[in-house]
Amino acid sequence: MWRTSTLASLAVCLALAVGSHAGAATSGTVVGATVPSATSIDVTACQSQTSATSFGTVLPGASVVTGADCNVVFGSSNDTSMLRVHQTDALGVAMSRPSHGAIDTGFGVGGTRMIDPADDDAIVASAIAPDGDIVVAGHRSVAGAEDAFLARLQPDGTLDPAFGSGSGMVTYSASAASDRAQAVAIGADGSITIGGITAVGIDDTSAFVARFESDGTLRTSFGTGGRTEIIAGPEIDTFEDVAIDASGRIAVAGYSDQVVGAGVGLDWIVGRLTADGAPDLSFNGTGLRRFDLGGPANSNDSGFAVAFDSSGRIVSGGFGVPAAGTGDAAVVRFTEAGAFDPTFGGGDGIATADVTAADEARGLAIDANGRILLSGQSNIGVDQDAFVARFTTAGVLDTTFGIGGVSSVPMSTAGGHDAFEGLVIQDDRRIVAAGHAQVGGQWDAAVFRLLENGTLDTSFDGDGKAFYAPSAGLDTVHDVLMHRDGRILLTGGATNADFDGAVTRLDSTGVADFSGDWTTGSDKFGACLHGLVSGTAVWALAGAGNCTTTQPANWRPIPATAADAGAAVASTASGVANATARFRFGFRTIGPQPPGIYAAGVSFTVVAPSA
pLDDT digits (tens, 9 = 90+) for 224-273: 999 998 765 557 789 999 999 999 999 999 999 855 444 568 899 999 99
* Residue of 376, 442, 374, 448 whose CA lies nearest to 411: 448
- Listed in order, strand segments (DSSP E) in 213-343 are 227-232, 237-244, 250-257, 266-273, 288-291, 302-308, 314-320, 328-333
pLDDT tens, position by position, 366-390: 998 999 999 999 886 667 889 999 9
- Residue 48 clears pLDDT 90, i.e. is over it: no
Selected residue with higher pLDDT from 258 and 423 = 423
Measured distance CA(428)–CA(423) in Å, rounded: 15
- Residue 6 clears pLDDT 50, i.e. is over it: no
Q: What is the mean pLDDT of residues 173-194?
A: 89
- Residue 35 clears pLDDT 60, i.e. is over it: no
Element holding 449 (H helix, E strand)? strand 442-450
Question: Can you say whether the dihedral through the CA atoms of 571, 573, 577, 582 is positive or negative?
Answer: negative
> Which amino acid, one-letter code, is at 239?
F
Q: What is the mean pLDDT of residues 99-118?
A: 87
Q: What pLDDT score does 442 carry?
A: 79
Q: What pLDDT score does 575 carry?
A: 92
Measured distance CA(487)–CA(561) in Å, rounded: 21
Q: What pLDDT score does 603 carry?
A: 79
Give the Å distances, CA to CA, from 543 to 42, 63, 366, 471, 573.
21, 20, 39, 58, 21
Distant-in-sequence, close-in-space partners of 389: CB < 8 Å, separation ≥ 6: 329, 353, 355, 361, 373, 374, 397, 401, 402, 405, 406, 407
What secondary structure letter does DSSP report for 514? P
15 band by pLDDT with thresholds 50, 70 and 90: very low
Question: Helix count (H) and strand count (E) of the chain?
Answer: 1, 42
Helix, strand, or coil (residue 316): strand
Measured distance CA(395)–CA(359) in Å, rounded: 17
Measured distance CA(279)–CA(267) in Å, rounded: 19
Selected residue with higher pLDDT from 52 and 427 = 427
- Listed in order, strand segments (DSSP E) in 68-178 are 70-76, 81-87, 95-97, 112-115, 120-128, 134-142, 145-153, 169-172
Q: What is the mean pLDDT of residues 390-409?
A: 95
Measured distance CA(123)–CA(370) in Å, rounded: 29
Selected residue with higher pLDDT from 30 and 329 = 329
* 8 Å CB contact between 483 and 507: no
- Residue 69 clears pLDDT 50, i.e. is over it: yes
Phi, psi of 376 (to 5 degrees): 180, -145
| Least confident residue range of 14-23, 119-128, 528-537, 592-601 | 14-23
* Residue of 85, 49, 54, 87 whose CA lies nearest to 67: 49
- Residue 62 clears pLDDT 80, i.e. is over it: no
pLDDT tens, position by position, 495-505: 766 778 899 99
Q: What is the mean pLDDT of residues 407-428?
A: 81
Element holding 447 (H helix, E strand)? strand 442-450
Q: What is the mean pLDDT of residues 164-173?
A: 91
Give the Å distances, CA to CA, from 52 to 49, 65, 290, 432, 575.
5, 9, 44, 21, 33
Mean predicted lDDT score pLDDT of the chain: 82
* 8 Å CB contact between 269 and 279: no
* 8 Å CB contact between 134 and 186: no
Q: What pLDDT score does 118 carry?
A: 63
